[in-house]
Chain A
Amino acid sequence: MSDRLGIVTVASLEKGVDVRLDSPVSVEDMVVGRYVTIEGQKRRFFGMITDVSLGVTDPRLAVSPPDIADPFIAEVLTGTSTFGTIHVTPMLTIGGDAAALLEGPQPVKTIPGHFSTVNLASERDIELVFGKEDPQRFNIGNPLDMELKLCLNLVEFVKRSNGIFGKSGTGKTFLTRILLIGMLQKSQAVNLIFDMHNEYGWQGTSEAGPPVKGLKQLFQSKVAVFTLDEENSRRRGVSTDFVVKIGYDEIEPEDIAILRSTLNLTDLAVEATYQLRRRFGRSWILKTLDTEDPDEVKQLLEESKIHESTLQSLKRGLATIRRLPFIEPHTPVDAVKSILDHLDRGINVVLEFGRYRDITAYVLVANMLARRIYSQYQSRTEKAMAEGTAPPNPLVITIEEAHKFLNPEVSSQTIFGTIAREMRKYNVSLLVIDQRPSGIDSEVMSQMGTKITCLLDNERDIDSVLAGVSGKSELKSVLARLAPKQQALIFGHAVPMPVAFQPREYGSARSYKDLVSGGQPEQAEKDVEELWE
């Protein structure tokens, strides 16, 4: 099959381009999400197929269909009286004159002329748009139905907060692992991963077959595994670098505030934590819980103007926290300092939660640690700016179940809401993983640089992911047609245009080798070949 598909018949910048297919081109070969180029007179357009339809020249044909059992009639009518059309959304202009080539792909501002030829995008075109693997770009997979590499500029990627979305079981974790490996190799950023389900550090589960390797197994020297649950980690055979313990005196009222709904606290109870913190100082939680004597309680209530039921509600909540085994009255070693030490040395940190997978533990620990790390980063970055020295390594914090941190009620209070909004000012960005993007504050969503989404089928989730993207309705049709597994749509800051892609393989011996090498050996081989030419 030649790469020519057909000609442009109708076009509008707003609604896209209708292409009538040539007769040898089968409609069934046209898949939504494929790339095409349109050869205009002055420039070339790069676009994506967003709809496929059938047309007839005479409506009577549809009313009294011909006898297509006769192959002759079928052959004559195909592509003439009956034809296929595809709807293409032009995304970029590429090439054209020399100046345009230098500028690289640009967003479209016009449309191709009548009857411009439409071709399947060639490998070269796609390479022009998505780049090829180099020290900054990382191959994350291939565009759907194409044997081509989709390369993501990870240096650009980590400059903003990003999100990975998708229903449970659509491959978010695999995709995240691939991205983390990419960032680890090519972005010059360090990662801090709050690994709720123990999937990223040592090894992860795979629905089909044996466990897959985690980051630590692949990059021994660049990854440190921290754990909250030493016993569990040992049982799983994970060699951990640090056991994280949290002291009561490290918990601040802000940490309780975001647990409001998980701990079932009232607004007043949250309010009371600030008063108690002022009253008791750093060890306010222990002291609050230990105030059992009725007289003392009475005195406390009167002096702090807290209602008794409020105090009871708060106490119930704090008792839940006290039951978390990794919380101790006071910890001799500061977990935050240890994490920062590792990050400063360019070592990525995975924090495993072991058995403590309940959301209270996750939200509490992630928020606490992130807040303190962020404030360190903030002061260091400000200092670096003032003194003109090098700022700390860019930091990417990966959080799962992000809607718990970033929902509209708490996103203004949690540190993650702040990071998502203030973005890269202090060299810290987020990688948000979530299955209910509609639960995330729209303000936070709108600040995300690049979004990668696997299949979503809830209307509200789809709307919230695609909010504000141009060509939303077309993307919606692409998104809704993704396979339930191992297909994703990426759009935003780090890619020149939205792409539906299949993430690269992860789990076989070969895939590990390729991932670890980061595409370098191939390059070396190529260079040697070129040398001999």
Chain B
Amino acid sequence: MRFINNQTPNKIAEVIEASTAQFAAQCYELYEIPPLGSLVKTGDIYGIVAEAMTSSLEPGRKPIARGKDEASEEAVYESSPQLSKLLRSEFIAVVAGHKDGDNLRQYLPPQPARIHGFVYLCQPDEVREFSQSFGFLNILTNVALPVPTEELIAATLRQMSRAHEDSRAFLVAAGKELANLLSADFIRLKNILGRLQ
């Protein structure tokens, strides 16, 4: 497997479920989930963090409340160190593009991500490069997830704008692209634009 950038700092998660349009990854550290809307990659595939959850390792075994006699939340974890091994944080990333040789394509890759592929958080340079064009917005507007797409799109653009020096100009350009995509649905557009700042 070829990695996009070998200098990428640390891997943060590993793919545990993959399909053409999205992949699920388990974080190596409990609660160290990349923020909603951030750009991640595994192999040649770019994804946008669309949903995250923390749950018990075993599906049938529900966590129980333990903090009745503890002074703080941290104390709960300190007194039961096994917890961090019994719980896991996962996230789902929507596939937003891929690298085809040297070209960045903002449409679905031919193959889904591989299980156990390492997932990296993209660095600002890469985010900037990825957000040169807004083809991914179309994917995001059509995604079906429990998280409302308006929230997801707004979070993504907010995240990306931080990588840009002139973040307002970036948001305006993205907003215009969205206005074209959602030309027939002004209410949705208004909801997204209201969440961009």
Contacts and interface: CB of A to CB of B under 8 A. Distances in A.
Given A72-B168, A76-B172, A76-B176, A66 B190 contact: yes
Contact of A58 (B176, B178, B184): B184
What bracket does the count of chain A residues touching chain B fall in? 10 to 19
B179 A80 contact: yes
Given A72-B196, A73-B193, A80 B187 contact: no
A81 interface: yes
B185 A80 contact: no
A510 interface: no
The majority secondary structure among interface residues of chain B is: helix
B111 interface: no
Interface in B156-195: 168, 171-172, 175-176, 178-180, 183-187, 189-190, 193-194
B182 to A, nearest CB: 8
Task: Among A60, A66, A79, A80, find the residue whose CB has the most chain B CB atoms closer than 10 A.
Answer: A80
Contact of A76 (B179, B183, B184, B187): B179
B197 A81 contact: no
Contacts of B185: 58
B187 A77 contact: no
Interface in A48-91: 57-58, 60-61, 66, 72-73, 75-77, 79-81
Given A73-B193, A76-B193, A61 B186 contact: yes
Interface string A483-497: 000000000000000
A244 to B, nearest CB: 73
B101 to A, nearest CB: 32
A80 B185 CA distance: 13
Contacts of A79: 176
Contacts of B183: 57-58, 80-81
Interface in A188-212: none
Given A58-B184, A60-B187, A66-B190, A72 B176 contact: no
A75 B196 CA distance: 13
Contacts of B189: 81
Contacts of B168: 72
Contacts of B196: 72
Contacts of A58: 183-186
B122 to A, nearest CB: 25
A217 interface: no
Nearest to B196: A72
A61 B172 CA distance: 18
A77 B172 contact: no
B17 to A, nearest CB: 36
B186 A72 contact: no
Interface in A14-67: 23, 57-58, 60-61, 66
A72 B171 CA distance: 9
A77 B179 contact: yes
A77 B179 CA distance: 7
B125 to A, nearest CB: 26
B172 to A, nearest CB: 5
A72 B175 contact: yes
Contacts of A73: 190, 193-194
A66 B179 CA distance: 13
Contacts of B186: 57-58, 60-61, 66, 81
A335 B178 CA distance: 80
A60 B194 CA distance: 17
A75 B197 CA distance: 14
Contacts of A60: 186-187
A273 B168 CA distance: 88
A326 B174 CA distance: 82
A66 B178 CA distance: 15
B172 A81 contact: no
23 contacts: A57-B183, A58-B183, A58-B185, A60-B187, A61-B186, A66-B186, A66-B190, A66-B193, A72-B171, A73-B193, A75-B175, A76-B172, A76-B175, A76-B176, A76-B178, A76-B179, A76-B193, A79-B176, A80-B175, A80-B183, A81-B179, A81-B183, A81-B189
Given A76-B171, A80-B179, 16 more contacts: A23-B176, A57-B186, A58-B185, A58-B186, A60-B187, A61-B186, A66-B193, A72-B175, A73-B190, A73-B194, A75-B172, A75-B175, A77-B179, A80-B180, A80-B183, A81-B189
Nearest 3 CB-CB pairs, A to B? A76-B175, A80-B179, A57-B183
